[in-house]
Structure 1
Amino acid sequence: MDLRHLATLDAVAAEGTFGKAADRLGYTQSAVSQQVAALEKAVGGAVFDRPGGPKPVRLTPLGEVVLAHGRELLARAAATEDAVERFKAGEGRVDIGTFQSVTNVILPAVVRQILTEHPAADIRLFEEETDEPSADGLDLVFFDGRVKDAEQVKILDDPYVLVARRGQFPEGPVPLTALHGAAMVAQPPICDQARVERVYADAGVAPLIVFRTADNRGVISMVRAGMGLAVMPRLALDVASDDLSAHELQPALAPREIYLAWQANRTLSPLATRVIELTKQTAAQL
């Protein structure tokens, strides 16, 4: 059976005559007759009793069965067409892997705009601090470094700064050597933090790590409490404070690079593509 045949069956049953069904569908009456004949051939029997003259046609018992199920198929086809159109317009679901800085600073603006444009969009965020990210099972994934075996775009360079209690250092840059032997609060030695600590070692600087936490706010809170200094990417400093100061280091550490990646050779949905566009715009404003 063809969906066009079922639509013709539905129109004839609703209108009562082939002529009125033709007007409703925009066909000629002969085209309607051909559609009904093709349907009857497919189901192996007559679907209409044709009394002739001005009297309306009536469904046969077989026609009633075909119409009942046919209307279900037509409704499903219409729902599928509607879902495809909404998908193309940017609705649907998108799964995004993220981490703290992106969650706190970049994604709020992106999510807000997506939901403004497409209120029915289904956005799922998965936050994990990991040394080896994977785009498998996700539409998009943010990471502070390149992702292996994935297509990706660089979002921004995020410079590192020294965070200290205000007045602990004079205004302006601080020598990297000032960290030697200094008590420091730090992230776990994964992701880009491991690279930062290799820079310390290569420069002969050996700070005393007194606390590690993956919570950016926890790092800042312990610096404020006087537990130690911290070297953090600027994007992680989402807490304004009058009792803390941020200093450039000399020599400066190479900034961490934040990428947005997706599975290689995979076609992205319009919604995922829009997330990439909005992420670039948001990052450019930073």
Structure 2
Amino acid sequence: MRDVELRHLAAFVAIAEEGSFGRAAARLGYTQSTVSQQVAALEKTVGGSVFDRPGGPRPARVTPLGAVVLERGRELLARSAALGEAVERFKAGDGRIDIGTFQSVSSVILPTVIRRLRDEHPGCDIRLSEEEPDTPQIGQLDLLFYDGQVDGDVERVKLLDDPYLLVAGAGDFPDGPVRLARLDHAPMVAWPLDCDQPEMEEALARGGAHPRIVFRTAVNDALLSMVRAGLGCAVLPWLALRGANVEADPTLSVHELRPSLPAREIYLHWPAGRTLSPLASRAIEIAVEVAGDISGSA
């Protein structure tokens, strides 16, 4: 039965539904002889007649064997049609995409990326994983945003440089840039010592600033709440401050640092050597565009 072809089944079903070879041929856009050949090929495969052919104007009738083939054949044709529709939807951008992300990207870049993807492909399934391990791996993710380059067999594109800024209580520092030396022994709240945080604190030390870390948390909102409460200042990337809309908060002030610290680098990664889905490819294009727009507004 492995030699049964869908085109043979389609001809058989058309004849059964139309009642004649001629009407089935017209429906399928074939000649009547072609339809007859396809039915003959089907009967050879299944080992018996699927139609009684009374001749003349009387309709062709399905045999008992034909009834079995008709029932299962319709199921196969329906599955084939469903497969074709699913493939077309996939090519058009529907399907599922798994994205690894982190706080700043989730707040600032991803909302626009996801909205545009959903506008273009309403049937897509977008799933996010927000974890920031010390040694990130892309694993089964389609895309991974990370503040740095991920090791392994991946391809990547740099989205933007994310400069570090000082955020403090309103009036804690004069308006304008703040010299790093002013932060020496100053109370400060900070991220845990993972990702780029150790490098940032080493850069502070090279600039002569050895702040007194009084509290650490990986949650941006919690850090900013500690600054508002007067526990100390914080040095955070611009993207994190933008995501929290700090500039609109009158209780906080934002300052550039002098000399400036090396900016955090934001990358988008995807598995090397793996064929990307149209949805993943489009997500990369949109993320690059969004990051460019954001960088231009910094």
TM-score range, shorter chain: over 0.9
Using the alignment, how far apart are the partners of 2:66 and 2:144 within structure 1? 53
Runs of 4+, deviation exceeding 4 Å: none
Contact 2:207 2:259 in 1 (8 A): no
Question: Shift in Å at residue 120 of structure 1?
Answer: 1.2
What are the Cα deviations for residues 98-134 of structure 1, in whole angstroms up to 9, with x where unaligned?
Answer: 0000111111111111111211110101111222111
Match of 1:198 in 2: 202
Q: How does 1:95-114 map to 2 (within 5 A)?
A: 95-114=98-117
CA distance in structure 2 between the partners assigned to 1:231 and 1:37 by the alignment: 79
1:246-269 deviation per Cα after TM superposition (whole angstroms, max 9, x unaligned):
111111011100001011111111
Residue 78 of structure 2: which of 72, 75, 79 is its match? Answer: 75
Per the TM alignment, residue 283 of structure 1 is displaced from its structure 2 partner at its CA by 1.1
Q: Does 1:18 align with 2:21?
A: yes
SS in 1 for 2:109: helix
Provide the C-alpha distance between the structure 1 equivalents of 2:172 and 2:208, rounded to a whole number of angstroms.
23
Larger mean CA deviation between 25-34 and 113-122 belongs to 113-122
1:39 to 2:42 alignment: yes
SS in 2 for 1:146: coil
Match of 2:127 in 1: 124
Letter in 2 for 1:145: G
Q: Distance in 2 between matches of 1:63 and 1:187?
A: 72
Compute the TM-score of the two structures, normalised by the length of structure 2.
0.94
Match of 2:186 in 1: 182
Q: Secondary structure at the match of 1:191?
A: coil
- Is structure 2 residue 254 aligned with structure 1 residue 251? no
TM-score by length of 1: 0.98
- Once the two structures are superposed, residues 149-191 of structure 1 have per-residue CA deviations (whole angstroms, 9 ceiling, x without a partner) of 2111111111110111121111111111211111100001111
Query: Structure 1 residue 202: deviation in Å?
Result: 3.1
> Which stretch of structure 1 is more off in the superposition, 115-124 or 65-74?
115-124
The one-letter code of the counterpart of 2:237 is P
Which residue of structure 1 lines up, in the alignment, with residue 227 of structure 2?
223
Query: What aligned pairs does 1:148-159 form with structure 2 within 5 A after superposition?
Result: 148-149=151-152, 150-159=154-163
Q: What is the rounded CA distance, in whole Å, between the counterparts of 1:250 and 1:154 in structure 2?
A: 25
Tell me, which stretches of 5 or more residues in structure 1 are unaligned? Answer: none
Report how many residues are paired: 286
* Separation in 2, partners of 1:92, 1:166: 47
Q: Does 1:209 align with 2:188?
A: no
AA partner of residue 164 (structure 1): A
Q: Could you tell me which runs of 5 or more consecutive residues in structure 2 were left unpaired when the two chains were aligned.
A: none
Is residue 167 of structure 2 the alignment partner of residue 163 of structure 1? yes
The amino acid of 1:163's aligned partner reads: V
What is the SS of the residue equivalent to 1:222?
helix
